[in-house]
């Protein structure tokens, strides 16, 4: 025990502290460079949009750079070091969200001169819990090494901790072997500590730094822990990873300007949850290989994105369904069901308009495939929630093709699980705007052309969730239910113009939208489906094409169920 030390008065059970911070896109870029974690989920805009989060998210470890501020708020310049740190990542943080980091002392052991703190990260606006964790730190009577910011090296030639850059792996769960390992080398320098301090200053603001205007040894320990993110995002499994939790024990002193080696090894694979437990070691890269950090990582391996069938392959499979000279507009056609539907109509000989709002390159790639397979296609950017953008899109279609024979309202937002009591009405409005308002704008813009040409087909893409609502998806079910009402109402009103309005209603479809559903739930749904598989985008695209064909000229206002044998039975 260290007698009469100030920390004994500063720390007591239930002692609390907190701070606010915000992480912006630039901070994400700096962190990615510093740690070498250039994972697509955080740095690739196109990948982020196609992920289960529908946008790039902040590295899970990035908010933890602020954790050392909590003990410093209580201890001031009293020397201390991190002995243990762990965290569980519950929900993603998006750049620009204002957050609150809270710390609470739960145990003080004066004999060991250490204290235990529980911490959490939550969204400041609504209190949504993002991360929970534990920090054990030891109090020292030895003065802490203080590295003044002004004395730090300004050399910018080596911005990354890594001595060699890593290529992002893209491993499926099945391809990862038990006991498989990966290593990389790194070397912490003063310039890296400076970058870390600048990140903290940016996140919490210069005025809120308090005694943290001096870098202390815990920050060097945080740098080492940040490399857990690098291993998950770049090594095993790499791109398909969702970081679940970690723990790290510090066993020896860390020093600057020395080489270290980071090693991760797969300890356990869970088939049920498609997750990995990996042992972590950080050692000095020297003859004696002194152990510095020993830890454990738990990560889920998401399914690799399945490449859509090419337009040429679809043409060979389907053949000619006599859709030639038809003009088809498909909203939200840059991925998933919309992408496959666009290629299918192209394979059937139709002229296809690929609508998108953000994914320009992907939309243009789809157009190129359709054109190479022998059909006309163009990509048009338009936010379907914006009436003026929709009108401009339809004017462009009219100028190019003089007609619209088929409209497929497919645009959708996300399928994130949000408990009702944590939900904000704005989240419901977002889904209503994309799904219902978007279909409303597109129908109003296209119907005059259809009336003028003597008829047409409108196909709305719904979901079995309106019949059998899953827990945690209130906003999605509300919006899709609104689409049901729009379909039935328009079917009656437009029948006199020979315009048929129907909807396809698939059960679970394996697309980017359903990546957030756990493997256990997906496997359970599959096992309860009589056909023993999930629907594919092609299954849905075929149904859409069927309803759009002349075979269903006497069908309107109906739901076309694609459920693999599951109810309801119509």
List 53, 260, 356, 476, catalytic entry: 476
Q: Which residues pair with 262 in a beta bridge?
A: 184, 282
Cα distances (Å, whole numbers) of residue 280 to 111, 179, 314: 29, 12, 46
Cα–Cα distance measured from residue 302 to residue 305, given in angstroms and rounded to the nearest whole number: 9
Of 103, 84, 82, the residue nearest 17 (C-alpha): 103
Of 272, 295, 270, 274, the residue nearest 283 (C-alpha): 295
Strand 406-409 and strand 327-330: the pairing is: parallel
DSSP-assigned letter for residue 288:
S
CB 369 within 8 A of CB 312: yes
For 114, phi and psi rounded to 5 degrees? -140, 160
DSSP-derived secondary structure for 130-198 = EEEEEEEEEE-SSPPP-EEGGGS----S--SSBSS--PPPB--TTTPPTT-EEEEEE---HHHHHHHHH
DSSP-assigned letter for residue 279:
E
* 211's tokens: 């005694």
CB 22 within 8 A of CB 149: no
CB 183 within 8 A of CB 234: no
Q: Which residue has the tokens 């309803």?
A: 547
CA angle 243/246/263 to nearest 5° reads: 90
Sign of CA dihedral 53, 58, 62, 64: negative
Cα–Cα distance measured from residue 247 to residue 86, given in angstroms and rounded to the nearest whole number: 4
Cα distances (Å, whole numbers) of residue 324 to 350, 434, 542: 5, 30, 16
CB 156 within 8 A of CB 88: no
Strand 114-123 and strand 98-109: the pairing is: antiparallel
Cα–Cα distance measured from residue 40 to residue 38, given in angstroms and rounded to the nearest whole number: 6
Cα–Cα distance measured from residue 87 to residue 59, given in angstroms and rounded to the nearest whole number: 13
CB 111 within 8 A of CB 177: no
State yes or no: is 476 an active-site residue. yes
Cα–Cα distance measured from residue 61 to residue 231, given in angstroms and rounded to the nearest whole number: 12
Helix (H) or strand (E) holding 7: helix 7-10
Cα distances (Å, whole numbers) of residue 342 to 192, 348, 355, 363, 390: 48, 10, 10, 10, 18
Of 119, 57, 59, the residue nearest 87 (C-alpha): 119
Cα distances (Å, whole numbers) of residue 276 to 48, 280, 290, 291: 22, 12, 26, 23
By the 10 Å C-beta count (0-12 exposed, 13-18 middle, 19+ buried), 186 is classed as buried
Active site residues: 476
């Amino acid at each position: 025990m260290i007698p009469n030390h100030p920390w004994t008065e500063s720390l007591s059970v239930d002692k609390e502290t907190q701070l606010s911070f915000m992480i912006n896109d630039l901070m994400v870029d700096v962190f990615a460079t510093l740690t070498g974690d250039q994972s697509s989920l955080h740095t690739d805009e196109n990948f982020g949009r196609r992920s289960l989060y529908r946008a790039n998210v902040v590295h899970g470890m990035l908010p933890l750079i602020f954790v050392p501020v909590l003990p410093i708020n209580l201890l001031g310049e009293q020397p201390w070091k991190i002995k243990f740190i762990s965290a569980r990542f519950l929900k993603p943080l998006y750049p620009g969200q204002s957050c609150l980091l809270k710390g609470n002392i739960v145990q003080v052991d004066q004999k060991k001169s250490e204290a235990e703190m529980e911490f959490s990260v939550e969204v400041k606006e609504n209190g949504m819990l993002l991360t929970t964790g534990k920090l054990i730190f030891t109090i020292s009577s030895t003065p802490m090494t203080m590295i003044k910011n002004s004395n730090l090296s300004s050399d910018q030639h080596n911005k990354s901790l890594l001595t060699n850059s890593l290529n992002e792996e893209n491993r499926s769960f099945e391809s990862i072997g038990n006991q498989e390992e990966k290593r990389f080398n790194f070397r912490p320098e003063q310039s890296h500590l400076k970058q870390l301090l600048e990140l903290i200053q940016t996140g919490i603001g210069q005025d809120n730094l308090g005694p943290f205007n001096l870098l202390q040894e815990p920050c060097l320990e945080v740098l080492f822990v940040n490399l857990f993110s690098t291993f998950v995002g770049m090594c095993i499994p790499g791109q398909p990873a969702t970081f679940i939790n970690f723990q790290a024990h510090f066993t020896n002193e860390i020093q600057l300007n020395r080489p270290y080696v980071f090693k991760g090894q797969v300890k356990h694979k869970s088939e049920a949850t498609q997750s990995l437990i990996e042992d972590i070691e950080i050692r000095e890269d020297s003859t004696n290989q002194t152990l510095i950090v020993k830890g454990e990582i738990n990560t889920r391996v998401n399914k690799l994105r399945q490449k859509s069938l090419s337009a040429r392959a679809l043409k060979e499979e389907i053949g000619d369904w006599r859709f030639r000279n038809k003009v088809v507009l498909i909203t939200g056609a840059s991925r998933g069901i919309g992408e496959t539907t666009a290629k299918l109509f192209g394979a059937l000989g139709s002229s296809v308009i690929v609508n998108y709002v953000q994914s320009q390159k992907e939309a243009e790639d789809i157009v190129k495939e359709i054109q190479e397979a022998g059909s006309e296609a163009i990509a048009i950017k338009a936010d379907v929630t914006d009436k003026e953008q929709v009108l401009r899109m339809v004017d462009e279609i009219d100028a190019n093709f003089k007609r619209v024979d088929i409209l497929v309202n497919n645009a959708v937002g996300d399928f994130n699980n949000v408990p009702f009591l944590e939900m904000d009405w704005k989240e419901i409005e977002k889904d209503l705007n994309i799904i219902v308002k978007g279909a409303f704008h597109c129908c109003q813009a296209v119907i005059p052309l259809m009336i003028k040409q003597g008829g047409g087909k409108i196909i709305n893409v719904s979901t079995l969730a309106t019949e059998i609502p899953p827990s945690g998806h209130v906003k999605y079910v509300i919006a899709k239910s609104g689409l049901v009402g729009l379909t039935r109402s328009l079917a009656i009103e437009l029948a006199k113009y020979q315009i048929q309005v129907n909807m396809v209603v698939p059960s679970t479809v394996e697309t980017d939208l359903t990546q957030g559903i756990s493997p256990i739930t997906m496997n359970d749904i599959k096992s309860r489906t009589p056909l023993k598989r999930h629907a594919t985008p092609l299954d849905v695209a075929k149904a859409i094409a069927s309803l759009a064909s002349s075979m269903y000229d006497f069908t309107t206002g109906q739901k076309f169920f694609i459920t693999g044998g599951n109810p309801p039975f119509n």
